[in-house]
Amino acid sequence: MTTRIFASPARYVQGADIIDQLGEQLATLGKSAFIIADETTWKIVGEKASAAMQGKTEFHHEEFNGEASKNEISRLAELARSKGADLIVGMGGGKAMDTAKGTADDLGLPVAIVPTIASTDAPCSALSVIYTDQGVFEGYRFYNKNPDLVIVDTRICAQAPARLFASGIADGLATNVEAQAVLKSRSKTMVSGAPTIAGIAIAEACEKTLLTYGEAAYAAVKEGLVTPAVEAVVEASTLLSGLGFENGGLAGAHAIHNGFTALDGDIHHLTHGEKVAYGTLVQMVLEQRPEEDVFKFIKLYRAIGMPVTLKELHLENAPREDLKKVGDLANSESDTLRNLATDLSADDIADAILAVDTLAKKAA
C-alpha cells in the first residue's frame, strides 16, 4: 500500500500586530536574516519589521523582482551568500514566498515566511510554483522540508486590498474540491504519499470555514477591520488551505489556473485566486457535480467579486483554439489534472470552460 505522509511548517504564528514579535521569532532561527520583499511590500511593512528586528537579529533587505523563476532564485541565493546570511525570509505575496523557499533550499538555510496578504496558500508548503522570467508556468519545485516559521499579522492582511483577501478565499475553496478528487482517484498528494485522515479533515474544515465566514470576513476587510470572522478566514486561507492542498493533493482547479498562463491578454491582470476560482468551477463541471453544488460556490464567488463568466476572465472573445491551449497546458505531465482524470482532452477542457460561463449566467 502507498505510504501516508503528513507535512507541515515547524511553527505557525497568527494574530493582529504579531509583526512586532518578528525579531524574537527570527532570532530562534538565525543571527543574520536575508529578507526578500518587493518594493510595495517593503513600503508597507519595512518600517515595522525593521523596528521589530532592532537589537534582535541583523538583516539585509533585497528587492524581489516579481517573478518566481529559476534565474531570480539563483540571483538572490548568490546575494544572500555574499551577505553571509544564515536565514532567508520571504515577505509579501505567493511569488515572493516561493522565491524565498527556493533561495533557502539552494543555500541549505532555514526559511521564514511572512505573508502580508492572505491571498494564497503558499506560506506553509514545501514547494514552489516556478515560472519562466516571462510569467509562464514551468512546474513545481519540491523541498525536503516545510518552512521553519510562518508568521501572519492579521492587521496587515486586513489593511491590504479586499480583492486580494477575496482571492485567498477563492484559492482556499479549491482545497477540498481537489483533495476529494485525489482521494477518489487514489492519486498521490503533493508530498508524494496517500492522503492522510488528518489532511482530508483539514481540507474539509477549510471549505466549511470559508463558506461559513467568507462573506462576513470580506465585508470586514473592506473596512480594514480585524474580526473573529477575519481571523478564522485568514487561518483557513493560509494554514488550513496550505496543509490541505499539500497533504490532500491538487487536481483540476490549479491545473486550469496554470493552463491560463498559455494565453496572452488581460487575463494576466487577474490574481492567482481569481483564476483558481474559475478553475475550481471547471473541475466541478468535469466531475459532473450537482448544479446546486456549483451554484453554492458561484454565489459566494459573486459576493466577494470573483470571476465566474468568460467576460469577467477577459476571455469572452477567445477563440476555441485558445481554450484548447489552456487544456493542453493543464494536461501536461508536469501538472495535476491527471489526478482528476487521465483521459481528458483539450476539447473536454474547452467545453467545461464554456459550460461554467453558461452555468454562471443561469445562476444570475
Tell me the DSSP string of 37-53. E-HHHHHHHHHHHHHHH
Shared domain check, 125 and 24:
yes
Residue 272 placed within a domain? yes
Strands (E), 186-241: none
Instruction: Give the domain extent around 303.
Output: 251-364
Shared domain check, 259 and 128:
no
Question: What CATH number has the domain bearing residue 48?
Answer: 3.40.50.1970
Mean pLDDT of 230-249: 97
Longest dimension (CA), the chain: 59
Residue 7 placed within a domain? no
Residue 236 placed within a domain? no
CB 154 within 8 A of CB 14: yes
Shared domain check, 50 and 152:
yes
Point out the domain boundary residue: 135, 158, 181: 158
Rounded CA gap, 35 and 41, in Å? 11
Point out the domain boundary residue: 158, 180, 200: 158
Please determine, for residue 310, whether its predicted confidence score (pLDDT) is greater than 70. Answer: yes
Q: What is the pLDDT of residues 268-309, one digit of tens each?
A: 999 999 999 999 999 999 999 999 999 999 999 999 999 999
Rounded CA gap, 231 and 235, in Å? 6
Residue 6 placed within a domain? no
Residue 318 placed within a domain? yes
Nearest to 111 by CA among 120, 121, 98: 98
Shared domain check, 21 and 153:
yes
Point out the domain boundary residue: 101, 130, 158: 158
Q: How distant is the alpha carbon of residue 142 from its chain centre?
A: 15
Q: What is the pLDDT of residues 321-361, one digit of tens each?
A: 999 999 999 999 889 999 999 999 999 999 999 999 999 99
Question: What CATH number has the domain bearing residue 310?
Answer: 1.20.1090.10
CB atoms within 10 A of CB 155: 17
Mean pLDDT of 135-139: 87
pLDDT at 205: 98
Rounded CA gap, 168 and 97, in Å? 15
Q: What is the dihedral of CA 185, 186, 190, 193, to 10 degrees?
A: 180
Shared domain check, 16 and 143:
yes
Q: What is the pLDDT of residues 169-188, one digit of tens each?
A: 999 999 999 999 999 999 99
CB 175 within 8 A of CB 36: no
Shared domain check, 127 and 21:
yes
Q: How many domains does the chain have?
A: 2
Residue 189 placed within a domain? no
End-to-end CA, the chain: 46
Residue 148 placed within a domain? yes
Name the pTM for this structure.
0.92
Residue 275 placed within a domain? yes
Catalytic residues: 171, 254, 257, 272
pLDDT at 53: 96
pLDDT at 1: 62
